[in-house]
Amino acid sequence: MSAVEAPPFIRTIEWDMMDKTKFFPLSMLSSFSVRCCLYPLTVIKTRLQIQRRNHMYTGMIDAYRKIYRMEGFSGLYRGFWISSIQIVSGVFYVSTYEGVRHILSQDSFTSGLDSKLKALIGGGSASLVAQTIVVPFDVLSQHLMVLGVSFKHGKLAVDKMGMNPLGLNLTPGMSRAYISGEIIKLIYQRDGVKGFYRGYVASLCAYVPNSALWWGLYTCYQDELIRVLPNWVSHLFIQAIAGTLGGFTTTIITNPLDIVRARLQVQRIDSMCNAFKILWIEEGVRMFSKGLSARLVQSACFSFSIILGYETIKRVSVNEEYKSYIRW
């Protein structure tokens, strides 16, 4: 072997190479930590998407300042504990993604598929499963995010005695748990069980392509970066950068669909077509960039952190026989 030739290494740690008793608990811990750190960006993104034109906030920084000034630090974590239940869906998401890729690799008809195509199919399948679990919690957490926020007499108001989009009457001293229970009751009274799946189709339209593209592009960017960068560059760093680039690309492509999803779930618009029409009337071509800055920052931070944690955990969980072939 020449001095410049790098030793062989495993680019992708496969499902059957890992100790699942290590992988699952570490994966849940990593997912919760990332969500905890980045949740304020989710609140800001949702507020920007729900507002009409720029009545409440002029942008991401303005939204952060106003939320922090008027609602305090807790305002940036509205609905967090409901949303954090999504870490359970994360287990199903990862299991589906890795499981589908494993099946495609083992099946005689699909084993010859390109790794990028396998990642794309696995990512789409994983999102389909995860969204089925997570949409009810999404609906509830988004109502909590915008609770009591209004625009009155030309000024932004946070009225703890005010209304949320469901028309819930609030009084001082109400606990978050009680308010959450009241929101659940109102959603069920108005729409039944289907109320908790409001925007489900829009969620699938937004997140299934997003997830499929993200994993496909992640694999594509990773292969290209490995090809052009020197061998001494950390493989884990390359993967984190590839995840960030994949997140940027998919966020720009799917941004209008994510706005439609949020509005369907919070503003009770009856269909995706009507949501698109209303959005176009209100925003025009700005609908493609509405809340985009917050989504891009969120996506960059989330993609980098998730891949860094995910690939690190895979390395820690890999079976002993493969450790010598893993490059950090």
- φ, ψ for residue 157, nearest 5 deg: -130, 140
Does residue 163 register a pLDDT over 70?
Answer: no
Residues 237 and 241: their CA atoms lie apart, in Å, by 6
Does residue 212 register a pLDDT over 60?
Answer: yes
Q: What is the pLDDT of residue 158?
A: 46
| In contact, 195 and 138? CB cutoff 8 Å | no
Confidence of residue 5 (pLDDT cuts 50, 70, 90): very low
What's the predicted TM-score (pTM) here? 0.67
What one-character DSSP code corresponds to residue 18?
B
Does residue 4 register a pLDDT over 50?
Answer: no
What percent of the chain stands above pLDDT 70? 78
Q: What is the pLDDT of residue 111?
A: 63
The distance of Cα 301 from the centroid of its chain, to the nearest Å, equals 11
Q: What is the pLDDT of residue 198?
A: 74
- All structural domains of the chain, each given as residue ranges with its CATH number in brackets, are 15-325 (1.50.40.10)
Closest to 47 (Cα-Cα) out of 187, 176, 148: 148
- Predicted confidence (pLDDT) per residue in 282-297, tens digit: 777 776 666 677 778 8
The rounded mean pLDDT for the chain is: 77
| In contact, 48 and 39? CB cutoff 8 Å | no
Q: What is the pLDDT of residue 186?
A: 78
HEC string for 259-325: HHHHHHHHHCCCCHHHHHHHHHHHHHHHHHCCCHHHHHHHHHHHHHHHHHHHHHHHHHHECHHHHHH
- φ, ψ for residue 19, nearest 5 deg: -85, 110
Evaluated on CA atoms 34, 36, 41, 45, the torsion sign reads: positive
Does residue 150 register a pLDDT over 80?
Answer: no
Q: What is the pLDDT of residue 238?
A: 92
Residues 145 and 80: their CA atoms lie apart, in Å, by 9
- Predicted confidence (pLDDT) per residue in 53-104, tens digit: 666 777 788 888 888 888 788 888 877 877 777 777 778 888 888 888 888 8
Residue 233 in 3-state DSSP? coil
| In contact, 269 and 263? CB cutoff 8 Å | yes
What Å distances lie between residue 189 and 192, 262, 316, CA to CA?
Answer: 6, 21, 48
Does residue 167 register a pLDDT over 60?
Answer: no
Confidence of residue 240 (pLDDT cuts 50, 70, 90): very high
Closest to 147 (Cα-Cα) out of 158, 137, 136, 138: 158
Residue 102 identity (one-letter amino acid) = H
Residue 25 identity (one-letter amino acid) = P
Residues 252 and 293: their CA atoms lie apart, in Å, by 10
**Can you tell me the mean pLDDT for 176-195?**
74
**Can you tell me the mean pLDDT for 294-302?**
80
Closest to 259 (Cα-Cα) out of 286, 220, 219: 286
| In contact, 234 and 169? CB cutoff 8 Å | no
